[in-house]
Amino acid sequence: MIVVLEDPMANAAITSKGQITIPIEVREDLGLKTHDRIDFVKEEDGRYFIRPKKGSIMNLRGIFKWTGKPVSIAEMDEAIAAHVVEDWARFERQRSE
């Protein structure tokens, strides 16, 4: 059940590119800042509401299981560099064909 306490406090127009500017009062109430993301959530009755997409990269910790030995930043850098060299060599081969 949704209770409407008053008339809508703010509104926005959709631009030709499909963009909207969220009014300052709404951004402040939701705690939104530049570059924040929001979710559009569809209710069963077809209405939508928006909610701030909150979270941190740290929330992803542990979703990928690693059973190998821990590696250092230096080892990661070396592995990345090796792959860059391989990718560059592949690119050069393809370019010369």
Per-residue pLDDT tens over the stretch 7-57: 667 888 899 999 999 999 888 888 888 888 898 999 999 998 888 887 777
Domain boundaries, position 70: 58-96
Q: Does 65 reside within a domain?
A: yes
Per-residue pLDDT tens over the stretch 55-83: 777 767 777 887 888 899 999 999 999 99
Q: Does 67 reside within a domain?
A: yes
- Residue carrying structure tokens 């592995």: 79
- Say how many domains are in the chain: 1
3-state helix, strand, coil in the chain (%, to 5): 35, 10, 55
Q: What is the DSSP letter of 6?
A: S
Size (the chain), residues: 97
